[in-house]
Structure 1
């Protein structure tokens, strides 16, 4: 692994440091393939990745003043995140009903520990969580899960002497009927163990889970592709992948292979032994690790050359709001009916459209720096300029900014409590799928003042 890390850093310095002709491009892609294979990425996947990067680069018209090396970096980053996930993906959790999550994976992949980690992560977001131990093969599984769940004060269920996992799950689900999320820890199994794979298929069939999460050891290496594909073929759709044991020397190269085989995005990564050590997948962070850059500074230098849209800002910006309003006006009346109450109660569609147009004019009068940094709008001269440019008075602009700050907090609450993406949280609020009173109640439980 250290050699692979060194090679990748050397490779990226070459990409950054010189103009690249076609021969040099082929040399760099050949080295990239060797480096990724050394990092335990599936060989066929590496070849496919290099081919797509080359095709993308050769088809790209390089803008004047933008060196070809920038296009190489952009193409590589795009292809990596297209396999792993281009953004943070939500768990499939629906409010107002019980959601069942089944964890599957190889023995020794860290499912039981991950089960507790995920339970704590969900609990911190205000959800009522319980855990069921359905691993009837590993003798220590029940005791391990018992200790972990007791340490985080999460209810658990299991029957150490029962050998039928489906019976255990059935009884556990009866016990936890009124919980928001129930996580089921299943026995580890290998693709060659046909009996265990058949049992897993039956578990999924009987429980009808909201989501199946595949737990993959970050050090699994070349076996990742075949194992992930076997799980997908057995249970059907895999909702997401959790990569474990990324706190040591593992770089997660197998994650590329697993994500490609399962056709599922990475949703979480385990970064330590403590029950708190689980993080939602974030593209720049994880790609930095795959490329042997755990401090991320080297990748950040590369990403500085990329367009803003690749940076995935975490908080709601005025640019996000402008994009949403423009999209809303394009979609027309079908959307206006759902959001009418969010703006002014029972008003006509014509009046609502007029108000939206007025707000959009304010947003369009802002420059790019202001759209991404609302703190700049504390400057009275900027407020005056925006008011003149949009045809409204300063009071309207200040009132709108105040409303934006409240909306931003509401979006943050939903992102943290329900694990939603920024755009989905905004959409649910704007379209009235969750009311302000409910969000404020959640925020109070989380100690956030809106």
Structure 2
């Protein structure tokens, strides 16, 4: 909510609405620097003034009293006395006693935000403005609003002044949620704190997350090898839902992240240019790119569009991988491991592994998977100029190598039933265009 300017009285303060999120100020028009900080559950009399120290102007904000402890008249009188001291160069805020006991808590403000306020500013002022994907934002939200929920209304200075709180929480999360989640949560907290400190320069410069001992993380070696492909295709063919079959196959053939493929739209397929456009991948719109389509990938999309029209008429007009869900597309790509041993990022690793076996250059694999291109010289490569010929040829080579592992299974399947019927390449466009008229 936006700040207000009012002539503060007991009645006016009583009628101030609680903040729907975060906090806001109701500033007194009669005494500049006197205000009420309104949160979700309580209201606090506050003063803010400026004093000079060593030729510099320093802002001082402090709590006067909780609303209800003093009348507005008494709080204004106390605030006037405090503001007079500030103007004379005195900092009236309580300091720590020699024995180290704090005599007053920090007051949440712009200069010392709560974790909730810092998170909201980071989410809206950084992540959304930078075009971060919904999946990334939701992942950060889960860390802050679920795993650190009891800290939401704590000032960040409390964590900055006592990093042991962060180390203890990291150890607790490691035991209860696992090493990877604990590390991920701390990385989110680190980012939020760093962003907050850009405006709140009084926060301790050392990020409290720097005090933790990070859990060891190892890349999961979950890729399929060429010798495993045939068994995986056998498992895939046994899945009952044909849309899900094609989803997993396309993820294997493309090597891309599950979220990007699950949310692929019909309008983003260009069969003439032989590409699938991904407008908002991980990293947001600035990372938008086109996936070059091999013949096998085109046949996969043709099949799933035919199947989608038969099973999910309305949803299939918008989504490549439709489902009877609230969103209209497949929401969850995971399968029981007993049904399908590898899915999701396992298939992304498999694509990378088989690309190596197919002799595709590392730089080309980076481009096909939309990874950051390593090296200064490689940064001068224009990806779109390679799409129509070179990258598509490399994609074709990887698809052929993947399907070689399924060759013996396909021969047996054709003798029994045509699970994945082949479409002649010349008919691909005519089938699609006719069906969409």
Q: TM-score, normalised by structure 1?
A: 0.24
Higher alpha-carbon Rg = 2
Q: TM-score, normalised by structure 2?
A: 0.25
Structure having the higher helix fraction is 1
Structure ranking higher on relative contact order (CA contacts 8 Å, 6+ apart): 1
